[in-house]
Amino acid sequence: MTRSTMRGITVNQIGYPLYSNKHAVFTKEGTFQVIEEGSGEIVFTGQTGPLKNDDASGHMVAFGDFSAVNDVGRFYIRHEMDSVTSATFSILQRPYTELHHGLLKAFYYFRCGQELTPEFAGPWHHSACHLAKGFVYDNHKQLLDCSGGWHDAGDYGKYVVPGAKAVADLLLAYELYPSAFNRPTPIPETDGIIPDVLHECRWELDWMFKMQDPSGGVFHKLTTHQFPPLSTLPEHDLEPLVFSPISSTATGCFAAVMAKAARIYQPFDADFAHKCKQAAVLSWGWLVNNPDVIAFHNPPDIATGDYSDQQDIDDRYWAACELYGTTHDPIYHHALLTIHKEPFHKFGLCWSNIGGYGSLAYLLSNSTQTDLELYEQLLSDLRKEADYMLWKSTTDGHGISLLKDEYIWGSNKVVMNNAMLLLIAYRFFKDKRYEAAALNHVHYLLGRNSLDLSFVTGFGDHSVQHPHYRPSIADDINSPVPGLVSGGPNAGLHDDISKKRLQGLPPAQCFIDHEDSYATNEVAVYWNSPALFVLSHWEQQQ
């Protein structure tokens, strides 16, 4: 069987859940056949819908519905007119088990300050890295332990704000879908008692403690002055480490995720949960004492990612909601009720607008003292947001909630954040349309897109091979570290190779699988985390 280079039929290259809606995307109308891979038997014959213009990709596309195929197995699709075939895929009760496992295992590969041994890392093992103490910016005499945590992305920086978003996604996934994490990863801490997802989050949380100043303020990030060359293995990055100045956004996110962690870890480790709670309360005190935005911008001699943000109201709101959910102290309830009146997006799930985690904490709170008016308002806003995602999905040729101008840096993060929100709306409203729309986002990520590409390394018939990720670039292994979510199409063309090779292409086509394309093909912990949350929905034990 020869794969078409014309991308005539695209499918989810991993598979489709049994009894779900199943669609392929075609660039030609006509009759198609679903074929069982092993026997070559035609198990279904169908007709595509009419071709429609997909503005984002520049293609004329049609859906082909094969939902009637509910046999377990491996299949591919053939267009009867010209014998073009799709990638192979599975139909299973839970087709995403290995992918879910890989998305979680990726966080182990992102670990800093620990030797990744062949026992757990396979061929992608390497020595411990970044073990030296770091100095506080503008105070070179103040050296602090800064080991541990996750490398943020394709570089070796460690950042509080996106790290908090990643931990929040993992903790929320465990909170809502605990049975999805029954299987060990495994990682060095695997003990059969505490789920490995919580062991993994603790690796990052233990590092975050080191980012908190005695005042309660939190250093914004820990990096070298410049990014190391692409060919640098983590243990060879020996430049001085710098604690960048405290920011109110980092402090707010820290307080929020520590308060959430205090609840989640309480049944497993009460002492650790208490430590998380104390750290959250201390940082809240800093926020109260520093009511103005203390925004972060890179100092002139630091050129690593800055994650700058001119507002912190969303971070403060998240912190107040999580602290109220943990302590039930009316002080935090009063604070969140006050902050909620401010104009900011109440369901943002991005590091730059992260208030949605606060709203979710409030809606999921078991406190008997929630404000009914606020609770009902948040439910109404959640439904409106989900309905908007649903509307956008119906206008897109591949069924996702991105408009033409939303193919930005890290567009796959946006796709998965939107799928998260749809699944949370499904949890509250039981509207099957939300669940089906979220699954369409999964299909897009895993190959049912205009590039016929699975955006997760190591998964799919045709997956990303050359991510902007230093460990995979610098090692001598042909295959990239598996389970990493690539950033995805970015019409901004922010890097040189994108500008050279992607000029004039429609937004959804603005992607290049090349190690130099940091603007389309980098990886990041907070791109993996919403994908893990979303796949947990279909991995949970029924």
Distance, CA of 67 to CA of 19 (rounded, Å): 7
Phi, psi of 142 (to 5 degrees): -90, 95
Query: Are the CB atoms for 164 and 477 separated by under 8 Å?
Result: no
Q: Are strands 158-159 and 221-223 parallel, antiparallel or unpaired?
A: antiparallel
Q: What are phi and psi of 496, to 5 degrees?
A: -65, -40
- CA distances, 254 to each of 159, 187, 442, 528 (Å): 11, 25, 30, 20
Return the C-alpha torsion angle 315, 319, 320, 325, nearest 10. 140
Among the listed residues 267, 146, 270, 271, the one whose alpha carbon sits nearest the alpha carbon of residue 218: 146
Geometric angle at alpha carbon 460, from 455 and 463, rounded to 5°: 40
Kindly state the helix (H) or strand (E) to which residue 9 belongs, with its residue range.
Answer: strand 9-10
Q: Give φ, ψ of 226 to 5 degrees.
A: -130, 160
β-bridge partners, 59: 54
Residues acting as catalytic residues: 513, 522
CB 110, CB 467: distance < 8 Å: no
Burial grade of 270 (CB within 10 A; 0-12, 13-18, 19 or more): exposed
The H-assigned helical ranges of 328-468 are 330-340, 356-364, 372-395, 411-429, 432-445
CB 135 within 8 A of CB 517: no
C-alpha torsion 451→455→457→462, nearest 10: -30
Tell me the C-alpha distance between 359 and 368, whole Å: 16
What's 54's DSSP letter? E
Task: Report which of 484, 527, 477, 487 is spatially closest to residue 510, judged by C-alpha positions.
Answer: 487
**244/488 Cα distance (integer angstroms):** 29
Q: What totals of helices (H) and strands (E) does the chain contain, helices first?
A: 16, 16
- CA 184, 187, 192, 194 dihedral sign is negative
Calculate the dihedral angle through the C-alpha atoms of 22, 27, 33, 39, rounding to the nearest 10 degrees: -90
State how far the Cα of 121 lies from the Cα of 110, in Å rounded to an integer. Answer: 11
* Amino acid code (one letter) for 116: L
**Tokens 């690539």, residue located:** 486
- Checking DSSP bridges between strand 89-92 and strand 15-17, what pairing results, if any? parallel
Beta bridge partners of 266: none
